[in-house]
Amino acid sequence: MNKGKILVVEDEKKIARVLSLELEYEGYEVTVKETGIDGLQALEEDSFDLVLLDVMLPELSGLEVLRRVRKTNTATPIILITARGSVPDKVSGLDLGANDYITKPFDIEELLARIRAQLRLNIHAQEEKETELSIADLTVNEKTREIQRAGQMLELTPREYDLLVHLLNHQQQVLTRDQLLTAVWGFDYFGDTNVVDVYIRYLRKKIDYPFEKQLIHTVRGVGYVMKG
């Protein structure tokens, strides 16, 4: 069973071989690169679930690889492999965006545990991201039902929340009053499109009017559209 793809960037052949064998035995798909430049190229050409990155590498140091990767990729977990006593490397690595580090010589079971922990955290972060709807500086977390705009928490009634979520799920799409009525209120309100206008007004007072940029736009004679 493939548990995920791991990139190992390690120039010591013996260590790289041990890591590769142990990780493959655990069910991971492993790619090994021996230089910083080759490791960076691999990350540019493919996606990995986790990276084991040695700090001391030929051609390009592990810290420089980390710095370049984090310019465009902040999501992939990176565990640094550092030399014993190299506190500055550990500090610099964490400051540059490393998720964790392990010191040579390391216990393979400890490393495997750290890998599992980082993969779990990453899955949780991805799930959190998937539950978030956003446009401009407005975000809605569907899991917690928290609404923020420009860093401010906003309070909505359940119906206002449902209307906002529907608009966010159909960004850039002009929705008629009938479409909004059916989606948010159901057929019980069929024909009473005035209720849509009333709740759009309520919603605007909370998420639009206190802010400079308006997100809910009226399309005269048709309905409404949410766009940034």
The CATH fold of domain 132-226:
Arc Repressor Mutant, subunit A (1.10.10)
Is residue 148 over pLDDT 70?
yes
pTM greater than the 0.85 cutoff: no
Provide mean pLDDT across the span 218-224: 94
Which fold would CATH assign to domain 5-130?
A: Rossmann fold (3.40.50)
Which regions of the chain carry the CATH code 3.40.50.2300?
Answer: 5-130
Structure tokens at 56: 């001391």
Q: How far is CA 174 from CA 160, 162, 178, 227, in A?
A: 18, 17, 12, 10
With DSSP H G I counted as helix, E B as strand and the rest as coil, what are the percentages for the chain, rounded to 5? 45, 20, 30
Q: Residue range 116-143: average pLDDT?
A: 84
> What are the pLDDT digits (tens) for 161-175?
999 999 999 999 999
Nearest to 94 by CA among 58, 61, 67: 67
Per-residue model confidence as pLDDT tens digits over 38-85: 999 999 999 999 999 999 999 999 999 999 999 888 889 999 999 877
Q: How far apart are CA 163 and CA 157, in angstroms?
A: 10
Q: Which residues belong to CATH 1.10.10.10 in the chain?
A: 132-226
d(CA 206, CA 143): 21
Strand extents, DSSP E, 43-111? 50-54, 78-82, 100-103
Query: 109-137: buried (b, 16+ CB within 10 Å) or exposed (e) per residue?
Result: eebeebbeebbeebeeeeeeeeeebebee
Q: 3-class DSSP state for residue 138?
A: strand
- Write down the pLDDT at residue 171: 96
